[in-house]
Amino acid sequence: MTEPITPETAPAGAMLIGFADVRPPGADEVFAVDPASGERLEPGYPQGGAAEAARAAELAHAAFDGYRRTPAETRARFLESIADNIDALGDTLVRRVTAETGIPEQRVLGERARTTRQLRLFAAVLRDGAWLGVRVDPADPGRSPLPKPDLRQRKIPLGPVAVFAASNFPLAFSVAGGDTASALAAGAPVVVKAHNAHPGTSELVGRAVRAAVREHRLPEGTFSLLFGPGPGLGTALVQDPRIAAVGFTGSRSGGLALAAAAAARPVPIPVYAEMSSVNPVVLLPGALAEKGAELGAGYVASLTTGVGQLCTSPGLVFTVGDAEEFLTAAKDAVTAAPAAPMLTDGIRRAYDEGAERLAGRPGVTELATGGRDEAIATCGQARLYVTDGATFRSDETLQSEVFGATSLVVRLRDLTELHDVLGVLEGQLTATVHAAESDHPAAAELLPRLELLAGRVVFGGWPTGVEVGHAVVHGGPFPATSAPATTSVGTLAIERFLRPVSYQDVPEALLPVELRDGDSAGVPRLVDGVAETGAR
């Protein structure tokens, strides 16, 4: 049985638990709201709870053994089918995303392309085979004083994964986003808790995933999509003993709550939470002197992208030396920045409160505010503040994330003061440096500091915009993430949902095919520590 996905596919207002459309009788409903107009959007979405979480986890658990044993090629084609189905939704999906989030059409098109591209990228990863981490240490029965056993290693999936969709990326970090793509690639069934800010978008994409499950005759519980409150449904999902790992993108409070719930289980599980970051930018003296105005304009363009509702928005800038030209250009750019709708009214309220809290701190001066439009229901207004190094070091609240287009410039006297303020920063997703050639000695000293501070160090650019590829890291030390050794973007993300298993002296006929001598799988491997391509 197939589930046709066409440009006419419309959201129906249901949870997708396995192959069933579920609307619990008497359940509370939530509706998406157009953030620009404030208009309620149909249909309503039932709010699930512990019963729905248990059913989805039960199906995922039942599906796990069969799904994890599927050939890599089958899973690769499955991921490609999801991407094809998302593309097939056409303008229906684009219009729904725009209506639910206020995100402009061009950015939606870009995010859709990124979402399908990363699904296809993980298909390529599966075909390559290096993700299996195959290692072979052949036996040496004649070794003295003890014989050497035959040891072979590969990676297997952890088990069913709960994915919590993000508010600010309704496609790329949501139902079929990076967490889901990497978990499905690893061989792990996925239960997604959709974000209530964009339920129609979530259902459309969820149907695209489920159609691919049916098309490839995969186990029913390979994918489920739930709607409901975090404290109820979300906690129940994380605490279900059949869930083996969690992927989360959102607030620090939400991520920490899930991590605590996972740690309190009789059998704790890993939570890969991407939580908060102010993404510090360092402007060195030579760069300020050579192109201060250009830096000011580029900074504000990055800050106001997506109304600042990006996890890599530059919320903190350190200027070293004369920054007048930079500040003037930044002030002018913020003043000219038009108002735009934020994702939800709740996000807008939290943003206004955060900006006002920052403005009320001693030693902080408001430098500029952007345009305001009372006709926009969730109006986001850019704001720019400035302070000095001594004030910043003495007030830890100044490095708190304000989720939106608000940023703080910290004016520093010299490089010594720069290193002092870097010493008080929390872990970050990104750290950025702008340096002229004359600044290279100072930049060389900075790099070892910044690589301990952040997961991605940017030179000569801006932190917004995350390239999806093999070498990217979207992660960082706590509190940027709960698991600093991992990334949620790029091909390395698959590692979060795998664990190594070693096989000692297992007869050849019983070994997984990729571990056998002269195997036909052709996957890369290390043999006695020497890389082999796998081609035979």
Q: How far is residue 228 from each of residues 201, 204, 306, 471, measured CA to CA in Å?
A: 15, 17, 26, 35
SS3 418: helix
Work out the angle between the directed axes of helices 90-101 and 199-215 (0-180°, nearest 10).
150
463-487 burial by CB neighbour count: b if 16+ within 10 A, else e?
Answer: bbebebeeebbbbbbbbbbbbeebb
The set of residues, in sequence order, having a beta carbon less than 8 Å from that of 332 and lying 6+ positions away, is 296, 368
Cα torsion 196, 201, 207, 210: sign = negative
Q: Quote the longest CA-to-CA distance of the chain.
A: 82
The closest of 197, 155, 123 to 378, measured between CA atoms, is: 197
Report CA torsion sign: 407, 411, 412, 415: positive
Residues composing the chain: 536
For the question of residue 379 being annotated catalytic, the response is: no
H-run or E-run covering 46: strand 40-46
**Dist. CA 314–CA 143, nearest whole Å:** 58
Residue 303, H or E segment: helix 285-304
Marked catalytic residue, from 52, 111, 220, 311:
311
Q: Could you tell me the CA-to-CA distances from 464 to 159, 198, 376, 487, 500 in Å, in that order?
A: 33, 22, 25, 16, 34
Say if strands 280-283 and 428-434 run parallel, antiparallel, or are unpaired. Answer: parallel
Catalytic site residue from 52, 203, 274, 514: 274
Q: What are phi and psi of 260, to 5 degrees?
A: -65, -40
d(CA 85, CA 65): 26
Closest CA to 27 of 10, 44, 6, 2: 44
Cα of first residue to Cα of last residue in the chain, in angstroms, is: 39
What span, in angstroms and rounded, lies between the C-alpha atoms of 159 and 498?
Answer: 9
Quote the tokens at residue 204: 């459309």
Decide if 274 is catalytic: yes
Say if residue 67 is exposed, middle or buried (CB neighbours under 10 Å; 0-12, 13-18, 19+): buried
Query: What is the C-alpha to C-alpha distance for residues 314 and 522, in angstroms, rounded to an integer?
Result: 44
Beta pairing partners, 366 = 385
Determine the Cα–Cα distance for residues 259 and 494; give it in Å rounded to an integer.
20
Catalytic residues: 274, 311
